[in-house]
Chains A and B, each alone.
Chain A
């Protein structure tokens, strides 16, 4: 099968939706003439023009709110945040307006917007550009949170997100944009809310999302080779909706669970998953659930320290071996 990079897969998914539906527009800072700060939208402005691919001023509250308003009438804007850390500048629009408009109107108004961009640390840019807000956003009813780990999932999920009638906050990873993966030529969708078992095993379940899935898969290979452990890796793909059954099914098989995430530990996604497992699969567990998160400090700038602050393969292997 042909291989595409994660960014090419995203671009192909968005391009297909642009061509399929005249209501799809892409907006954001530097998405058009500059070809995207991370080149995700490269070439799209030249191909689709000003109306479909629009450069905005640096004005997140303004243009994200504008997209939300336009989506209420049926446009399907795909808004790029250059970094998901900039969501906080548009927080009132993203949290107050997009999440609650359907509810507060008694179901009369929909908000089919996608807000996408990289949400990760590990790039040596310090605390203001390294936030992972998937836990905070998933805390808000009315919103969906998607975190693809592979090129295949990135394309299939962005297409589903654009077609979704509710706000989908789509979190990518700058360290994954260049990663190659198999992407079929023919059209496909990946449903939002369905986890994917990326590796099967019988001794331990690692539950993860985003780039940590890739790290977990590498750790699983090492654990197999060096410790004869068969690790199952469950990729959540979306945090909300959460595929609870996929998590429980795997844990009931392996009887051990390790949750790996780049989120900070306090009220992180792993806290929710741990609660889910202990409340619904407690009797299936042979050992306490373990969590591995970023170390609980603002994202540090200094490169060698940042590399150990967020999960890496070594930390995952050690955590896996420490599951009782």
Chain B
């Protein structure tokens, strides 16, 4: 009989104390971090706090107020990955991610109002209520979503990076995926093409340990390192601790330099952790891992608390200043919920808009486009 790995609680080792290590992060000395001014560091901290408070507020809207339906995949615990990596990006560096996209959206500069309104399905949402939680977009901020199918965005990220190469720009694409996506075929096809054609894409595996409720041990045969798969495609790879925003920035900068200077791809695995379920609707979120595992991570590796301590030790931040930032973030999140609540629903006729360019632009072909019979 086949022997399958059994359900393994505590598969993710969250106990290693990271506290001291991050406060003394060697990556603080990386040039990309040494160049940070005090206000830059405060902004990094504020961006992480804003993501967390936004998502906590959205969870309340979903679970307590019944204002949000469907899926709500929360990023809480992983904030340093999006904020750290996107903070290093330049003019021609693009971003595309998974359905766990609120953190990246706020990190690229999208507003809480348009994001919360999208969660509520309102006309004022970033996608006019047509996308939902998994489908935030801001192409004016180099942010290309927000994609619902596991691994489905990995060839798209390749195309965004291919465009930079085609146009001769010093650009790249940061394409995020989860640990569950490493077993999708489209991802492996993308790795092969990226290396074969020397496309400046940076694949970032945000390894939070669980592909929905299935641990890495039960889903991936080769577990020494997910990123080491890159060797099969003759591609550079690295691993990174996602609770240390300085390390995230340093490792991303190396990958960006490789993309910009050599037009070579990178596969970077960032170890991180999500505190909530796969989505808010994850009924088993406390069954496939122990409460102790979650608590250990929060106590020892919370990216916001670690960076807060680091900045206090650097003399950049005080407890009082932190409180002000935190209260502002809470107030902004509450205001976004009020904005979303007060916003109108999309008009029924808007359902037929944004499907075809030529229809929206009044330059129709001579045929009709839809098969919708009048009742």
Residues of chain A touching chain B, judged by Cβ–Cβ distance below 8 Å, are: 25, 51, 56-57, 59, 61-75, 92-93, 96-97, 101-110, 141-142, 144, 164-166, 191-195, 238, 240-245, 272, 279
Contact B365 A65 (CB under 8 A): no
Contact B357 A104 (CB under 8 A): no
Please tell me if B319 contacts chain A, counting CB pairs below 8 Å. Answer: no
Starting from the known contacts A93-B156, A104-B146, 17 additional A-B residue pairs (CB-CB under 8 Å) come to A57-B192, A63-B155, A65-B154, A66-B190, A97-B152, A103-B355, A104-B127, A105-B137, A106-B131, A107-B354, A108-B127, A108-B139, A164-B357, A166-B358, A192-B365, A193-B367, A272-B371
Shortest CB–CB separation between residue A276 and chain B, in angstroms?
A: 8
Contact B155 A69 (CB under 8 A): yes
Contact B158 A62 (CB under 8 A): yes
A97 partner, pick from B156, B189, B190, B360, beta carbons under 8 A: B156
- Given the complex of chains A and B, what is the CA–CA distance between A75 and B367 in angstroms? 26
A241 partner, pick from B135, B148, B186, B368, beta carbons under 8 A: B368
Q: Which of A67, A69, A142, A279 has the most CB of B within 10 A?
A: A69
Shortest CB–CB separation between residue B158 and chain A, in angstroms?
A: 4
Q: Which of B160, B370, B371 has the most CB of A within 10 A?
A: B371
Chain B residues lying within 8 Å of A57, measured Cβ to Cβ, are 192-193, 196
B355 partner, pick from A56, A73, A142, A194, beta carbons under 8 A: A142
- Given the complex of chains A and B, what is the CA–CA distance between A285 and B157 in angstroms? 52
Nearest CB to that of B186 among chain A residues?
Answer: A61
- Given the complex of chains A and B, what is the CA–CA distance between A219 and B254 in angstroms? 67
- Given the complex of chains A and B, what is the CA–CA distance between A92 and B148 in angstroms? 11
Sample (26) of A-B pairs whose CB atoms are under 8 Å apart: A51-B166, A57-B192, A59-B189, A61-B186, A62-B155, A62-B186, A63-B189, A64-B155, A65-B156, A66-B158, A66-B162, A68-B155, A69-B144, A70-B166, A102-B357, A105-B131, A105-B135, A106-B128, A106-B130, A107-B128, A108-B138, A108-B139, A108-B140, A109-B144, A242-B371, A245-B368
Q: A65-B154, A68-B155, A72-B159 are in contact. Are A104 and B137 (CB under 8 A)?
A: yes
Shortest CB–CB separation between residue A60 and chain B, in angstroms?
A: 8
Chain A residues lying within 8 Å of B159, measured Cβ to Cβ, are 65-73, 75
Q: A59-B189, A62-B190, A193-B366 are in contact. Are A96 and B148 (CB under 8 A)?
A: yes
B131 partner, pick from A74, A104, A164, A166, beta carbons under 8 A: A104
Contact A75 B189 (CB under 8 A): no
Chain A residues lying within 8 Å of B140, measured Cβ to Cβ, are 108
Contact B367 A73 (CB under 8 A): no
Q: A61-B189, A66-B190 are in contact. Are A75 and B130 (CB under 8 A)?
A: no
Please tell me if B149 contacts chain A, counting CB pairs below 8 Å. Answer: yes
Chain A residues lying within 8 Å of B368, measured Cβ to Cβ, are 193, 241-245
A-B contact count (CB 8 A): 175
Q: A97-B147, A106-B354 are in contact. Are A66 and B193 (CB under 8 A)?
A: yes
Nearest CB to that of A102 among chain B residues?
Answer: B354
Contact B160 A65 (CB under 8 A): no
Please tell me if B180 contacts chain A, counting CB pairs below 8 Å. Answer: no
Q: Which of B139, B186, B356, B368 has the most CB of A within 10 A?
A: B356
Shortest CB–CB separation between residue A138 and chain B, in angstroms?
A: 9
Contact B130 A104 (CB under 8 A): yes
Which residues between 81 and 100 of chain B lie within 8 Å of chain A, taking CB atoms? 94, 96
Contact A65 B163 (CB under 8 A): no
Q: Which of A71, A108, A193, A240 has the most CB of B within 10 A?
A: A108
Chain A residues lying within 8 Å of B138, measured Cβ to Cβ, are 108
Contact A68 B196 (CB under 8 A): no
Contact A96 B152 (CB under 8 A): yes
- Given the complex of chains A and B, what is the CA–CA distance between A192 and B152 in angstroms? 29
- Given the complex of chains A and B, what is the CA–CA distance between A74 and B357 in angstroms? 14
Nearest CB to that of B152 among chain A residues?
Answer: A92
Chain A residues lying within 8 Å of B160, measured Cβ to Cβ, are 69-70, 72-73
- Given the complex of chains A and B, what is the CA–CA distance between A71 and B139 in angstroms? 13
Q: A106-B354, A166-B357, A191-B365 are in contact. Are A93 and B152 (CB under 8 A)?
A: yes
Q: Which of B137, B148, B186 has the most CB of A within 10 A?
A: B186
Please tell me if B185 contacts chain A, counting CB pairs below 8 Å. Answer: yes
B 111-145 binary contact with A (CB < 8 Å = 1; else 0)? 00000000000000111111100010111100011
Contact B357 A165 (CB under 8 A): yes
Shortest CB–CB separation between residue B119 and chain A, in angstroms?
A: 14
Which residues between 227 and 242 of chain B lie within 8 Å of chain A, taking CB atoms? none
Contact B367 A107 (CB under 8 A): no
Chain A residues lying within 8 Å of B196, measured Cβ to Cβ, are 57
- Given the complex of chains A and B, what is the CA–CA distance between A108 and B146 in angstroms? 13
Contact A56 B135 (CB under 8 A): no
